[in-house]
């Protein structure tokens, strides 16, 4: 049996909520966040086409570099920071354990 | 003020709204279609025009954009009319039971039935987080869409963004405006390669200013926009006098005003009776991704089916005393209006 992986969502500075999910189901981070009740539109269902699953990685383990498709989508969004990622493009694996992230506004 | 009269006002020009025009046409009902976007096709045009779809009956595969073009061809005989680029805001019911649907720009559509085919909601521009940006909206210098390029003739423009629409409009407006500056956060463009090449060529020819690794961070003016501050990634800021600022960062759907129409809702979707996809308000129907009922599937195919049944319901609502008998298009061909 695999251990659940834990990630932390920063709702306000210093205020973090732990969410955890299994690594053996091929889930994406977007699916975990959605399943944990976070309000993520994920309009395109995880195809890097809509940008509505945008998160900012604040701390934690190093992740794989974004693909060209992910970068293209991120660059088209009005807010992008060093840690910007599309949560649908990140697989839920053990390596994510301890990741701290923030949901990015979809329309500010 | 624009005033239109029709049988059914369809809100949303996605695949389901478009097919509803066909089904209504078979019943000799006229349609007027309104969409907040400047083009038809809904999610298919806005999110995935180049993606193949595999579950449309009769088409082993078809590109989303081609399906939209085919739907437009299919409804041609019924001469639907369109108001594009205007979001529907509200409606009122008149004493004779008909409705007046109103858009954000004051267009009024008098109709006997309303079909909401609003999908995920109306697509709204993603706005950059710049203080007081909204005070320059509505003709005061900040535009999130180019509706009429003539607005920008002989102006000094700043366009922001790195996607296809920022590139396309930079190319188009370079010939029309007095001065075009494209501001992009990155150093490379990820829009279509040939558009990026064209922008670079225009820059080399001195027709477009390119400011890379930078963001527009402030807007200034008194009632009317007069300049923007562009801040480079290294922190240096420059103020540039402009007539218009056009941030083009794509669109995102929002359920929008229909949420407040007092219709029965469940999880942000309009509850309907699957007999005819009527809502809690007689004469108002809801089809496609925007509705909900036990067993709902958000698929184009299901939306098409709902459109067919909805039109039967709308026909009965409009002509309570007329009897309708189903005729196959194979027998009679497609009637025209
Ligand atoms: C990436 C992706 C892939 C998909 N693949 C498939 C597939 O293979 N097969 C399939 O069957 N389905 C697929 N879907 C789902 C399919 O796209 C939707 O089911 C379909 O688009 C719903 O059509 P619709 O006409 O109800 O709504 P939409 O396509 O969402 O269109 C609604 C329109 O209404 C407009 N609107 C809303 N509110 C207002 C208002 N107040 N005023 C004016 N205009 C308004 C919007 O601007 C929009 O243009 C996919 C979806 C995505 C995102
Ligand atoms: S869900 Fe659409 S980009 Fe991630």
Sequence length of chain A is: 108
Identify which of B124, B190, B249 has the shortest CB distance to residue A78. Answer: B249
Burial class (CB in 10 A: 0-12, 13-18, 19+), B309: middle
Contacts of A91 (CB under 8 A, 6+ apart): A26, A27, A28, A29
Count CB atoms within 10 A of the CB of residue A12.
Answer: 7
Residues of A in Cβ contact (< 8 Å) with B162? 75-76
Shortest-distance ligand to the CA of residue A42: 2
The reply to whether ligand 2 has any atom less than 6 angstroms from the CB of A55 is no
B43 is in an annotated binding site: yes
Of the pLDDT bands very low, low, confident and very high (cuts 50, 70, 90), residue B299 is: very high
- Among residues B191, B239, B187, B238, which one has the least CA distance to residue B213? B187
pLDDT over 50 (residue B184): yes
Mean pLDDT along residues B298-311: 98
pLDDT over 50 (residue A107): no
User: Best of A37, A43, A108 to disrupt the B interface by mutation (most B CBs within 10 Å)?
Assistant: A43
Task: Decide the pairing of beta strands B244-247 and B156-160.
Answer: parallel
The reply to whether ligand 1 has any atom less than 6 angstroms from the CB of B145 is no
Greatest alpha-carbon span in chain A: 42
Mean pLDDT along residues A58-81: 89
Is residue B86 within 8 A of residue B101, CB to CB? The reply is no
**Interchain pair B127, A78: CB under 8 A:** yes
Residue written as token pair 């407040």: B260
Tell me the pLDDT tens digit for each residue of B193-223. 889 999 999 999 999 999 999 999 999 999 9
- Among residues B290, B251, B310, B297, which one has the least CA distance to residue B121? B290
- Provide the whole-model pTM: 0.88
| 3 state SS of B82 | strand
Higher-confidence residue: B73 or A78? B73
B48 is in an annotated binding site: yes
Mean pLDDT along residues B114-132: 92
Convert chain A into a string of H (helix), E (strand) and C (coil).
CCCCEEEEEEEECCEEEEEEECCCCCCEHHHHHHHCCCCCCCCCCCCCCCCCCEEEEEECCCCCCCCHHHHHHHHCCCCCCCCEEEHHHCECCHHHCCEEEEECCCCC
The reply to whether ligand 2 has any atom less than 6 angstroms from the CB of A86 is yes
pLDDT score recorded for residue A2? 62
Listed in order, strand segments (DSSP E) in B223-268 are: 225-232, 237-241, 244-247, 251-254, 265-266
| 3 state SS of B20 | helix
Evaluate the CA torsion angle B131, B135, B139, B145 in order and state its sign.
positive
pLDDT score recorded for residue B104? 93
Of the pLDDT bands very low, low, confident and very high (cuts 50, 70, 90), residue B335 is: confident
| 3 state SS of B300 | helix
pLDDT score recorded for residue B297? 96
In DSSP notation, B129-166 reads --TTGGGGTTTSSB-SS-S-GGGGTT-EEEEE-SSHHH
pLDDT score recorded for residue A56? 96
Tell me the pLDDT tens digit for each residue of B108-119. 999 999 999 999
Of the pLDDT bands very low, low, confident and very high (cuts 50, 70, 90), residue B33 is: very high
Higher-confidence residue: B331 or B112? B112
Contacts of A36 (CB under 8 A, 6+ apart): A9, A19, A21
What is the distance in A from the centroid of ligand 2 to the CA of A41?
A: 8
Residues of B in Cβ contact (< 8 Å) with A79? 128-129
Tell me the pLDDT tens digit for each residue of A15-51. 999 999 999 888 999 999 999 999 899 999 899 999 9
Contacts of B204 (CB under 8 A, 6+ apart): none
The DSSP call for residue B278 is B
Chain A residues interacting with chain B (CB cutoff of 8 angstroms): 41, 43-44, 47, 49-52, 68, 71-72, 75-80, 105-108
What is the distance in A from the centroid of ligand 1 to the CA of A83?
A: 30
Tell me the pLDDT tens digit for each residue of B249-264. 988 888 888 989 999 9
pLDDT score recorded for residue A108? 40
């Amino acid at each position: 049996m695999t251990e659940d992986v834990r990630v932390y969502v920063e709702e306000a500075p210093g205020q973090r909520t732990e969410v955890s999910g299994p690594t053996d189901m091929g889930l994406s981070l977007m699916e975990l966040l959605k399943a944990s009740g976070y309000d993520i539109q994920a309009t395109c269902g995880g195809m890097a086409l809509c940008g509505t699953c945008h998160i900012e990685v604040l701390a934690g383990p190093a992740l794989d570099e974004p693909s060209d498709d992910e970068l293209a989508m991120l660059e088209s969004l009005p807010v992008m920071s060093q840690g910007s990622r599309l949560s649908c493009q990140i697989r839920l694996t053990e390596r994510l354990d301890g990741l701290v992230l923030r949901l990015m506004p979809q329309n500010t | 003020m624009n005033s239109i009269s029709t049988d059914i006002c369809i809100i949303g020009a996605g695949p389901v709204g478009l097919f509803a025009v066909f089904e209504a046409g078979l019943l000799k009902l006229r349609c007027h279609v309104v969409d907040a976007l400047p083009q038809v096709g809904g999610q298919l045009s806005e999110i995935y025009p180049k993606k193949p779809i595999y579950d449309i009956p009769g088409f082993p595969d078809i590109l989303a954009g081609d399906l939209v073009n085919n739907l437009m061809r299919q409804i041609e005989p019924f001469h639907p009319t369109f108001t594009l680029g205007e979001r529907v805001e509200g409606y009122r019911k008149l004493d004779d039971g008909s409705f007046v649907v109103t858009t954000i720009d004051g267009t009024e559509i008098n109709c006997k039935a309303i079909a909401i085919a609003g999908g995920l909601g109306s697509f709204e521009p993603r706005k950059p987080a710049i203080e007081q940006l909204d005070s320059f909206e509505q003709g005061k210098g900040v535009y999130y869409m180019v509706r009429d390029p003539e607005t920008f003739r002989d102006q000094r423009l700043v366009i922001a963004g790195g996607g296809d629409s920022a590139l396309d409009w930079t190319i188009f407006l370079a010939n029309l405006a007095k001065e075009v500056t494209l501001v992009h956060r990155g150093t490379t463009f990820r829009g279509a390669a040939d558009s990026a090449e064209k922008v670079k060529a225009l820059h080399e020819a001195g027709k477009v200013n390119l400011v890379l690794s930078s963001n527009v961070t402030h807007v200034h003016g008194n009632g009317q926009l007069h300049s923007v501050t562009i801040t480079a990634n290294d922190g240096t800021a420059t103020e540039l006098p402009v007539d218009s600022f056009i941030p083009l960062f794509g669109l995102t759907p929002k359920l929008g005003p229909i949420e407040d129409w007092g219709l029965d809702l469940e999880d942000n979707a309009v509850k309907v009776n699957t007999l005819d996809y009527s809502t809690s308000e007689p004469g108002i129907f809801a089809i496609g991704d925007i509705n909900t009922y036990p067993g709902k599937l958000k698929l184009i195919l299901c939306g098409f089916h709902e459109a067919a049944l909805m039109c039967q319901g709308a026909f009965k609502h409009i002509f309570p005393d007329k009897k309708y008998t189903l005729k196959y298009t194979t027998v009679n061909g497609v009637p025209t209006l």
